[in-house]
Amino acid sequence: MDVNTAEPWREHYAHASAWDQHFPPLSLVEMFAASVAAYPDRPLVEFEGRQFSYAALFAESRRFAAGLQARGVTKGERVGLFLPNVPGYVSAYYGALMAGATVVNFSPLYTAEELEAQVVDSGARLLVTLDVPALLPTAVEVLRGSPLEQLVVIRLADLLPPLKRLAVKLFGGGQVSPVPRDADICSWRDCLGGEPAPVAVDPERDLALLQYTGGTTGTPKGAMLTHQNLAANARQVRAIDPDAGQRDMVLGVLPLFHVFANTCVLNRTLLNGGCIAMLPRFVAKQTLAKVGQVRPTALFAVPTMLQALLDHPDFARTDFSSIREVISGGAPLPQPVKERFESASGVKVIEGYGLTEGSGVITTNPLRGENRAGTIGQPLPATRLRLLDKEDATRDAAPGEPGELAVLGPQVMQGYWNRPDAEAAAFAVREGAEGTERWLRTGDIALFDPDGYVRIVDRSKDMIAVSGFKVFPSQVEAVLLQNPAVSECLVIGMADAYHGEVPRAFVTLRHDAQASGDELKDWLNARIGKHERVDAVVIRDSLPKTAIGKLDRKALRAEVGGA
């Protein structure tokens, strides 16, 4: 039987739950309400030493929903969130959903031009932001120069414990920006109403979230995620957790505007009755201090975060014994980073895999059991995978050959917002036992182990064509990261008159390491195939990263003029 379509994990499923599960339609509002009924007095958020209970944040969400309705926001209209990780994010997110609106997440790192482009594309009428210098002036600029109609401003001081709140109000210290007194700008407090009018939500059809992709190819696209897409993914992630229902304190440093955190840090934790210890942004020193303060049980992170924690001098003094596991996603996890973190902290690092179009999570290594090096584990319950031919997506890959990974499951998006052309290209249509199936094309090249573990070979669009041979950058990077002097690296293709393209490596060094580019090039080229050999290793102080903190190959190409 063809291992590319036989779904071998059904016989060798390693997760702490059955693969064959059903996740009935559920709205995120219903999910929140159920958790409030079960855990009304538990803290849902810890922020700067202050706790916010399930009941309190649910009540504030309802009041925000009523305020939105009073301002004319109706079912299906878009409400933007331009926020870091703060308690107000929770109330704004679920409050917009209670009003029947669709949330649009905007990265706090956006420039005014980037924010305006996505405001225009999404048709967001109202934007929620925070009165800090990094956000408020940008939001006001977009309000003045785009179709955006209203701006709602949360005051940082209102989220803090009494003494810190007083310090911000008295001294400011550059932490906050003055809020303009304009008719189309109102404070969060003034936007809160009474009881919202009930809104009927169809979990399988109504959109909860427009989540813009990172734009690895062309203009970022808005993935349309329904309530059921997101609620199902939260339940899938919880289903494979053997510790579900136990103490659950998540270190909330992964930005909530990103789909990985939206599912794993926010929705999953809320479903499980847990608490999110929020940090507005990732700073290694503050993150390590928070570990000691709240004794978290889990950390969701991208590999560059783990590297930054390892490199900080406070790492060796930090007690990680409360953490059951670290879940790494968002980018490939280098084996040296995994091994160093596990050895230094005593905590298992588990690699998973997902994408915006899949609500966040598709596969992961088991939280208990074998964590197979070099794999992204097995699919979540009710998630099917297949491999498509790399050159012709209408066919499956030949048995045993790598192919483009395709996904079918309750977490897969409905399509792209106002982009029918891109949507058509994103799916491979197959006839299944229950009719026509739309398999999401991930753009990642993968192989299946016989017992269902999945190995990502590379992104199809990242492959480098060297004299007709395909070179996978991640394979070259994996070798280079074995050099003890290398901290981070990216390999891209550079135009070459003879070969068409040649690989070139860009690296940062560990703080205590010394090596030249030529030394690293000679070391690397002696360990890889002829066509994989790089023409140079360029040492840099830093490499470009995305808003979530993962290495940004696209930005590097644009910066250095790669092929």
Express each pLDDT in 277-295 by its tens digit.
999 999 999 999 999 999 9
CA distance 44 to 503: 47
The predicted structure's pLDDT at residue 563: 62
Task: List the one residue out of 229, 294, 270 whose CA is nearest residue 89.
Answer: 270
* DSSP state for residue 179 in the 8-state scheme: P
Give the pLDDT band of residue 502 (cuts 50, 70, 90).
Answer: very high
Express each pLDDT in 78-115 by its tens digit.
999 999 999 999 999 999 999 999 999 999 988 898 89
Looking at the DSSP bridge assignments, the partners of residue 277 are 46, 251
Residue tagged 């230094």 (tokens): 344
CA distance 511 to 311: 8
The predicted structure's pLDDT at residue 3: 45
What average pLDDT is seen over the chain? 92
The predicted structure's pLDDT at residue 217: 40
| Helices and strands (DSSP H and E) totals, the chain | 17, 27
- Answer yes or no: is pLDDT of 152 > 70: yes
The predicted structure's pLDDT at residue 4: 52
Q: Which residue has the higher pLDDT, 333 or 506?
A: 506
The predicted structure's pLDDT at residue 215: 41
267 neighbors 233 (Cβ within 8 angstroms): yes
CA distance 336 to 487: 10
The predicted structure's pLDDT at residue 9: 78
Provide the Cα torsion 8, 10, 12, 17; round to 10°.
150
Share of the chain above pLDDT 70, in %: 96
351 neighbors 375 (Cβ within 8 angstroms): yes
- Answer yes or no: is pLDDT of 179 > 90: yes
The predicted structure's pLDDT at residue 171: 64
- Answer yes or no: is pLDDT of 510 > 60: yes
Longest dimension (CA), the chain: 71
CA distance 252 to 84: 11
Phi-psi region of 72 (alpha: psi -120 to 50; beta: other; left: phi over 0): left
- Answer yes or no: is pLDDT of 465 > 80: no
Residue tagged 């905590």 (tokens): 347
Share of the chain above pLDDT 90, in %: 77
390 contact partners, CB below 8 Å, separation of at least 6: 397, 402, 403, 404, 445, 460
The predicted structure's pLDDT at residue 471: 82
3-state secondary structure of 191: helix
452 neighbors 8 (Cβ within 8 angstroms): yes
CA distance 341 to 326: 10
The predicted structure's pLDDT at residue 460: 67
Where do runs of H (alpha helix) occur along 49-135?
A: 54-70, 87-98, 112-122
Express each pLDDT in 24-63 by its tens digit.
999 999 999 999 999 999 999 999 999 999 999 999 999 9
Phi-psi region of 198 (alpha: psi -120 to 50; beta: other; left: phi over 0): beta
CA distances from 187 to 29, 109, 547 (A): 24, 22, 27
Q: Supply 177's token pair.
A: 């920006």
168 contact partners, CB below 8 Å, separation of at least 6: 156, 157, 160, 175, 176
The predicted structure's pLDDT at residue 88: 98
Phi-psi region of 424 (alpha: psi -120 to 50; beta: other; left: phi over 0): alpha
455 neighbors 351 (Cβ within 8 angstroms): no
93 neighbors 257 (Cβ within 8 angstroms): no
Q: What is the DSSP string of 470-536?
A: EE-HHHHHHHHTTSTTEEEEEEEEEEETTTEEEEEEEEEE-TT----HHHHHHHHHTTS-GGG--S-
- Answer yes or no: is pLDDT of 2 > 50: no
